[in-house]
Structure formats: C-alpha cells, structure tokens
C-alpha cells in the first residue's frame, strides 16, 4: 500500500525496544495508544514492522479486530500457528546436511500448529520457542487493536499467556521475544497495564504521535497529481486538527479544493468522494 512513511518514528520506537535490555518484562514491551482512525495500523504494518524486520527480527503480526467473529485469543494462536507452519515447511524442505545430521529444530516437527493454546495442544511459549529454534531470530509479536483482547475471557487469558512467554523467552539464553501493541481505548489498555491484576504491570503506555503537516503535504501532492489546484497548507492543517487528525476526513476536505479532479481510486477505496453537485463557486466559499 502506498502511504506517507514515518521512518524516523519507526526507528525511534525500534531503538526504544532494542535499547532496553533489562531482564524485567516492561523492557520488552511497547504499548502504543492513539485515538481511533489516526494511523496506528498503517504505522505498525508499513513503518514499524518493516523497520523491525530490517533489524533482523521475525515479526508476527496479529490484527485482533480483523474478524469480529473470531475470538481474539484464536487470532493470536492462529498467527503463531501459521508462522510455525511456515518454519516447519522450510525445515522440511531443507537439504539434509552433508554428514546426515538431523537439525536440532526438527524435534518440533510433531507439533500440531492447529491446536496451539488448546487444552491438549502446545503452549504459546513452546510454539514461540519452536519458531525461534528454526528461524534463529528474535521474535516481535505485534498486536493491533489490543483492546479487543479484553472482550473475551480467553482473550484476557491469552494476554496472560503472552506475558509468561515474554518471561521465558527473555531468560538470557534465547534470542528474545518482544511485544508491541497499539490500541485506541485507553480505559481497556489500563486494564492490561495498571489494574491490580494487570498482566503487564509497570509497562508504559506511549502515545503514538499524530500524523502531521508532512502527511498533509503528501496528500496534497496526490491531489495535485490528479488535477487539483495548489493547496493552502495552513488551512488544511487547521481542518486536520479540527477533525481529530483523522486522515480520511481530512482527505475529504482536501478534495473540496480539487472539485474537478477525477476521483482517485485509492481515495475512493477509503470512502471519500467528491459530491457531483459541487461547483467552483461553492468550493471557493468554503
Ligand atoms: N501514514 C499514512 N499514509 C497515508 N494514509 C494513511 C496513513 N495513516 C493512516 N492513513 C489513512 O487513514 C486510514 C486510517 O488509518 P488506520 O487504519 O491506520 O487508523 P487506526 O488508528 O488504526 O484506526 P482504528 O482506530 O480504526 O484501528 C487508513 O485507511 C489510511 O487511509
Ligand atoms: Mg487500526
């Protein structure tokens, strides 16, 4: 997906995660928080994830709200199961070594990737350890819309299990596991971080900075490219802040400046449209 990239912000958060090598749990977590529709998912998928991968991490991305009908715990376990399957396939397809040795990681080959987290299945910690044995990389779990984990008791349990996995995978022997989350409901996130029985007590909730004028310049350039007139960035910035820094609504305002522009397919996909009745005079009065 084409997007306004935020590489410096991604580097900043990746450095934060790397910098903290303390054995205790908060050093291995990053909880990001920002209001709805302000670019969290795009940042995780298109900026932070790639930055972490470029530093050698194996990123397992879970969008907890991707499918409202699926229990968030299942989303987590399935994402780990899928990654495990990928690693098992790689191992199975690898050529046997010259001296006929069986790689250590093949001991995981019997693990059932479909029953992770189930009563008779492998635990999340074992599954993550297996992935790491095979991939030989540090792992970062990214949970987008983490507040959704608290909508079911199995989701809450999965967060506790994840906390335990963080403990066992960061014992100084393994290559480590980090947890990155983003959410838009600070009250629910507080239940993960600050309540008496919170699994991630002492971890910090960090605000994800809002998209800024750089993003507006980027969007303006797209509008100009499809035939719009030059934009007044100061007015746009004001409109953007009035609309809670929500990109699609600001884009709609941007399009108000480009009444004759053909509709961009990428913008149409985001639900923005140019009303057919708009004329140049109605536009200039805005
Ligand atoms: N960096 C960006 N570049 C271009 N467009 C962006 C960017 N960030 C966000 N957007 C636009 O804003 C929309 C909303 O962004 P996103 O889904 O990342 O927000 P969110 O904070 O995750 O929302 P929610 O709270 O609903 O999960 C995206 O579909 C995209 O159109
Ligand atoms: Mg999102």
pLDDT tens column, 73-102: 999 999 999 999 999 888 777 665 555 554
Element (H, E) at 32: strand 29-33
Where does 7-207 sit in CATH, by number? 3.40.50.300
Q: Is 131 in a helix, a strand, or coil?
A: helix
For the Cβ of 3 lying below 6 angstroms from any atom of ligand 1, the answer is: yes
d(CA 129, CA 198): 24
Ion ligand 2: residues, CB < 5 A: 40-41
How does pLDDT run across 249-262, given as a tens digit for each residue?
555 555 565 444 44
For the Cβ of 243 lying below 6 angstroms from any atom of ligand 1, the answer is: no
For the Cβ of 42 lying below 6 angstroms from any atom of ligand 1, the answer is: yes
Q: What is the pLDDT of residue 203?
A: 85
- Positions of CATH 3.40.50.300 in the chain: 7-207
Cα-Cα-Cα-Cα dihedral sign, residues 259, 264, 267, 271: positive
Percent of the chain with pLDDT over 90: 45
The residues, ordered by sequence, that sit 6+ positions from 19 with a Cβ below 8 Å of its Cβ are: none
Say yes or no to pLDDT of 228 above 80.
Answer: no
Q: What is the pLDDT of residue 179?
A: 96
Cα-Cα-Cα-Cα dihedral sign, residues 211, 214, 217, 223: negative
Give residue 36 CA to ligand 1 midpoint distance, Å: 9
């Amino acid at each position: 997906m084409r997007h306004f990239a935020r590489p410096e912000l991604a580097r900043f958060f990746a450095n934060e995660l790397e910098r903290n090598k303390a054995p205790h749990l908060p050093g291995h977590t990053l909880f990001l928080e920002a209001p709805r529709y302000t670019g969290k998912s795009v940042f995780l998928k298109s900026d932070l994830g790639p930055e972490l991968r470029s530093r050698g991490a194996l990123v397992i991305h879970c969008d907890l709200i991707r499918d409202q009908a699926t229990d968030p715990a299942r989303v987590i376990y399935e994402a780990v199961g899928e990654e495990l399957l990928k690693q098992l396939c790689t191992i199975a397809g690898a050529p046997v070594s010259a001296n006929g040795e069986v790689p250590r990681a093949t001991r995981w080959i019997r693990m059932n990737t479909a029953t992770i987290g189930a009563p008779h299945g492998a635990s999340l910690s074992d599954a993550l350890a297996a992935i790491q044995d095979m991939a030989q990389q540090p792992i970062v779990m990214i949970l987008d819309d983490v507040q959704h984990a608290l909508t079911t008791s199995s989701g809450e349990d999965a967060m506790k299990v994840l906390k335990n996995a963080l403990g066992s995978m960061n014992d100084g022997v393994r290559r480590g596991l980090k947890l990155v989350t983003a959410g838009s409901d600070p009250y629910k996130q507080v239940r993960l971080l600050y309540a008496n029985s919170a699994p991630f007590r002492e971890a910090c909730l960090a605000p994800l900075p809002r998209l800024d004028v750089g993003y507006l310049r980027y969007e303006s350039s797209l509008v100009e490219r499809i035939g719009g007139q030059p934009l007044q960035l100061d007015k746009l910035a004001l409109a953007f802040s009035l609309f809670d820094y929500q990109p699609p609504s600001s884009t709609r305002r941007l399009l108000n400046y480009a009444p004759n522009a053909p509709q961009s397919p990428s913008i149409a996909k985001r639900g923005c449209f140019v009303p057919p009745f708009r004329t140049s005079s109605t536009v200039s009065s805005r």
